[in-house]
Amino acid sequence: MYERILVAVDGSPVSDRALAEAVKLAELSGGELRVITIVDSPLRHLPDYAVYYNPEPLREAALKAADDTLAKAREKVAGHNIQVKFERVCQERASEEIAERIEIEADESKCDVIVMGTHGRRGVRRLMLGSVAEGLIRVSNRPVLLVRGDQ
């Protein structure tokens, strides 16, 4: 079955549901769980004319939020008899999409499956907000288990 399971979390209720499913998979398969959260590059959200802006305070805030997200995930996994690693992953390039970074992490750790939450947005909301889950399905070459949140 699945020996190495990657789950991407962001602290949202949807990602909490994905984490719960990933824990179940790890328990059933005896596999190792790798829990990651992505720290998005603050540079990708700045306009080109903001060349004198110091992104360091944004970066520090993002790192703190990622650590808080992982601490919350640790609490949810505590008490389960599974092997688990928690990692904060930073975007390496401002142009890199989060879905691409998740797939790179899955490749590097030789994961058999990726588990991720999805909001299930459609229409204009999906168009405006984008979908990391959809992007991951497009770039991944391994099974992806999408866990939909409550509507």
Q: Output the average pLDDT for the chain.
A: 85
Q: What is the DSSP track for 28-78?
A: HHT-EEEEEEEE--GGGGS-TT-TT---HHHHHHHHHHHHHHHHHHHHHHT
Residue 148 is predicted with a pLDDT of: 87
Q: Is the pLDDT of residue 9 over 70?
A: yes
Name the CATH superfamily for 7-80+91-108+116-148.
HUPs (3.40.50.620)
Q: Name the more confident of 59 and 8.
A: 8
Q: Is the pLDDT of residue 143 over 70?
A: yes
Q: Is the pLDDT of residue 25 over 80?
A: yes
Q: With cut-offs at 50, 70 and 90, classify the pLDDT of residue 112.
A: very high
Contact 46, 62 (CB under 8 A): no
pLDDT digits (tens, 9 = 90+) for 78-88: 999 999 999 99
Q: pTM, whole model, 2 decimals?
A: 0.86
Q: What's the Cα-to-Cα distance from 119 to each of 44, 51, 114, 147, 148, rounded to whole Å?
A: 23, 34, 16, 9, 6
Residue 125 is predicted with a pLDDT of: 46
Q: With cut-offs at 50, 70 and 90, classify the pLDDT of residue 109.
A: very high
Please state the domain extents for the chain: 7-80+91-108+116-148
Token pair of 84, please?
């688990």
Tell me the C-alpha distance between 84 and 91, whole Å.
22
Residue 132 is predicted with a pLDDT of: 86
pLDDT digits (tens, 9 = 90+) for 38-91: 988 766 656 666 666 777 788 888 899 999 999 999 999 999 999 999 999 987
Buried-exposed string 82-101: b where 16+ CB fall within 10 A, e elsewhere: bebebeebebeeeeebbbbb
Q: Is the pLDDT of residue 149 over 80?
A: no
Go through the chain and tell me how many residues it has. Answer: 151
